Structure 1
């Protein structure tokens, strides 16, 4: 590599508070996965995007605002997906109870992603996931 520094690949998009935004966010991420040849874990990534975008719309986006999705593919082939919102809603830890009416989406995220977490931002929060990915052609 001759001492050359590789910068991560990044993409970002903003989505309105609209139920169609979940589908559009999935399409945005799906296109990046294809462009970056990362379709091997595509279903897991897209399901997590759906869950995080839905949670942002239901619990984290005030009226008249939206949410953003940031993708970063690091040199070590780690894909980080972040969903940023501007609301005050909290992210509850996933509940394992079959009777629970909430938290099942985050159970899926916890099961599918290699790592996930929540960070504060002002205003709002960032819910992120990370996936170790290899090229689809590898």
Structure 2
């Protein structure tokens, strides 16, 4: 009798896990201090899974800043924020922080003076990210930023 082995891999190349684009990730965080490092760790894991490493430190810093802004300015007591990470087709990354607070965040004006106690977070985001903005949500808003990729995949050279 001849023994045969069945190949456990995908039958069609289109179904191959290495050819499928990475899936978006999202997680909800409560209004508490430990949510910021937890959001950063969640983002770090997603970037590692996607194979993004070129500008990963900039992405993680922006996750921290946007999460901190949501907690300080956008999340009323008893609520939280949603962090959504979206992979771009070109190897880029979009970060979205959804909160239920009102108001539109803006970096402080830099008219030759150092910003006050607050406001540096959005300055960092505006300098590090390729784009950033604020979208509507009911209730609240979505503060987002994007890092453009340089290639089609999510390899080390992608960001």
Describe how 1:12-91 pairs up with structure 2 within 5 A: 12-91=26-105
CA offsets, 1:70-106, max 9 Å, x none? 1111212221100000112431233323143322111
| 1:113 CA displacement | 0.3
Per the alignment, residue 134 of structure 2 pairs with 118
RMSD: 2.0
Structure 1 runs, 4 residues or longer, greater than 2 Å off: 6-9, 92-97, 99-102
Q: Which residues of structure 2 form unaligned runs of 5+?
A: 1-12, 15-19
Per the alignment, residue 4 of structure 2 pairs with none
Aligned length: 135
- Would the alpha carbon gap of residues 120 and 136 (structure 1) be closer, same or farther in structure 2, given more than 3 Å must change? same
Which of structures 1 and 2 has the bigger CA Rg?
Answer: 2
Between Structure 1 and Structure 2, the one with more strand by share is: 1
Q: Which residues of structure 1 form unaligned runs of 5+?
A: none
- TM-score w.r.t. the length of structure 1 is 0.89
